Amino acid sequence: MKDQKSLLVSRYRISKKERRQLTAQLAEELGNKAAELVHGSENIEVAKLRHPKIEEIILVNGIPAFFRLGEEIYPTLLLVYRLNIDLDLPRIYVDAGAVPHILNGADVMVPGITRIEGEVRKGGKVFVAEEDKGRVFAVGKAIMDGNSIKESKRGKAVKNIHYAGDDLWNLLMKLF
């Protein structure tokens, strides 16, 4: 297997123009808290990766806070755990039976959802949390809107994008 460090192509501080563009994109996709985090931080860097899916990690004061998947930006779970940042993303809570499946990469299915906090929009980003302790353990993209999830009895509700223990998690733990 390749050395994890060989996946890092470059790492650099972003320009003021890039910071403004990033702040605007974060505000649009993830809300004002994400934008304010970047706007108010001293050191914003981009790490370019040689990875099949994730080409870019955005670091806030050295912590990998966001990643790009195509043109979209998602928060990393390290943003939640290391910076203790609670973004304004909706949360979908799942029962204990769903947790191990999601931690193995499965998408979030409607029957496992116990409640929803915030406005879930189809195509929007969401945090997935365990019902018992309320801990966020995955980041996903809603396949259905909140009303459809509540009315439906089956089907996929959220595409699992990033979860604790996945390849991205392991890569971030080794590189940063």
Strands 125-130 and 91-94: parallel
* Contact between 4 and 175 (Cβ < 8 Å): yes
pTM: 0.92
Residue entry with tokens 């365990």? 130
CB neighbours of 115 closer than 8 A, spacing ≥ 6? 93, 131
Could you give the domains of the chain? 4-86+167-175 (3.10.450.120), 91-163 (2.30.130.10)
In this structure, are residues 164 and 103 in contact, taking their beta carbons and an 8 Å threshold? Answer: yes
Q: What is the mean pLDDT of each run of 10 residues along the chain (176 residues)?
A: 67 96 96 94 93 90 94 95 87 98 98 97 97 96 97 96 95 87
Q: Tokens 């699992």, residue?
A: 160
